[in-house]
Structure 1
């Protein structure tokens, strides 16, 4: 439940969806445009924490490097119906179930049951992701 009108929560959720859409097409610039400066990312991939003004680009660079090293490619994330979209003033908290698919050495892998949790800040007239965390789900070949 949102502490402000649904319109504010919808706008915050829309920013999260823009970020995921940018990730799905490999657009690091568009991902960074969804981020507040500085930003923070907490992920299951080492080194697990990215912070600062270039956190989104640094994380994506490391995703591509790790993917190349492990033989992973074709990442795609789908977020389901938002579980929480809470807005208080210029702060928002959005939690969505997520599924990620990718190829690992040519075999399709599905990671279901993941959670994509974001904290957002209102910057000018738009929402920006200040931090996100990916809670891994179960992977199946």
Structure 2
């Protein structure tokens, strides 16, 4: 999860995909709202860039807080983390606070991989 967020902060969809299991699912407030399958991370990132260009937004960065909920059962995990996103909107820095980043993970060999994530937008 942390590697995925770091890859997001670096604008690296290949590294984002490397942190994902197959199948992977993403649920986000941006249309088309759901991305699935082995290229979910890259497809979602492509749509982020298209939406950003349309709105004049760029430079996205996420900072995670302390997890509110962590549930690990065998090779499966569910984590809910408060998050803050910053980005540039037409040259002005914007900060979105109060968001929640919820992920499901699966252990594959010794690595934890994302199987799904959802972003609940804050203020």
Which category describes the TM-score, using the shorter chain as reference length? over 0.9
Written as runs of structure 1 = structure 2, the 5 A alignment for 1:1-141 is: 16-138=1-123
Which protein shows a greater Rg?
A: 1
| Whole-angstrom CA distance in 2 between matches of 1:56 and 1:74 | 17
The structure richer in helix per residue is 1
Q: TM-score, with normalisation over the residues of structure 2?
A: 0.98
Contiguous gaps of at least 5 residues in structure 2: none
- Give the count of matched residue pairs: 123
TM-score (norm 1): 0.85
Instruction: Identify unmatched segments of 5+ residues in structure 1.
Output: 1-15
> What is the CA distance between 1:107 and its match in structure 2?
1.1
Q: CA RMSD in A?
A: 0.7
Runs of 4+ in 1 over 4 A off after TM superposition: none
C-alpha contact (below 8 Å) 1:38/1:54 kept by paired residues: no
Report the Cα distance in structure 2 between the residues aligned to 1:52 and 1:28, rounded to whole angstroms.
Answer: 14
Cα deviations by residue, 1:28-60 (Å, 9 ceiling, x for unpaired): 111001101110000011111001110011001
Identify the residue that residue 5 of structure 1 maps to in structure 2.
Answer: none
Q: Partner of 1:116: helix, strand, or coil?
A: strand
1:57 counterpart SS class: helix
Alpha-carbon separation, structure 2, partners of 1:132 and 1:44: 12
Do the aligned residues in 2 keep the contact of 1:96 with 1:115 (CA within 8 Å)? yes
